[in-house]
Amino acid sequence: MLSDFGIVLLFLITGFVFVALGLITAAIIRPHNPNPVKQSTYECGEELISGSPWIKFNIRFYVVALIFLLFDVEIVFLLPWAVVFQQLGWFAFIEMAVFVLILLAGLAYVWAKGDIEWEKPKPYIPSLKDLVVERKQHFAE
């Protein structure tokens, strides 16, 4: 007699055994000759970012993700509405228009505040003047 949770337990056990078996078999069979390239983390063919992973990265990624989420959720609400739209009629249309308008106000806000401008970080190119100043400081010391 298996209860509903018994099945879940069986699945869990099977899952663990499956992974463990695979790893153990591989450890027994595979040849063992590591080198630095092999041991580096695979990052889709990109060059690795070396050093500590605790680096600062630009906050605009968060902003873009948040804005994306807003409109992603909008779709989730629009879809069931569209399915029953014909039965509900004008009332539902006005309700949804209000909802979309509120979201549009959000977009207008984000736009006006300049949060969807993708500012590229400007690379620092030293000019001759800067170099001269730097040199002078160096000699002054």
Binding site for another protein (CB under 8 A): 87-88, 91, 102, 105, 108-109, 112-113
The one-letter code for the residue type at 23 is L
Instruction: Give the integer Cα–Cα distance in Å for 77 and 102.
Output: 13
Min dist CB 27 to another protein, Å, is 38
Closer Cβ to another protein, 76 or 125, answer by number? 76
Nearest residue (CB) to another protein, 45 versus 89 = 89
Residue with smaller CB distance to another protein, 6 or 22: 6
* CA–CA gap between residue 140 and residue 101 (Å, rounded): 63
* Tokens matching residue 117: 């401008």
Minimal distance in Å, beta carbon 25 to another protein?
A: 38
The angle, 0 to 180 degrees and rounded to 10, between the axes of the packed helices 60-88 and 90-112 is: 170
Tokens of 46: 């990109």
Q: Provide, rounded to whole angstroms, the least separation between the CB of residue 101 and another protein.
A: 8
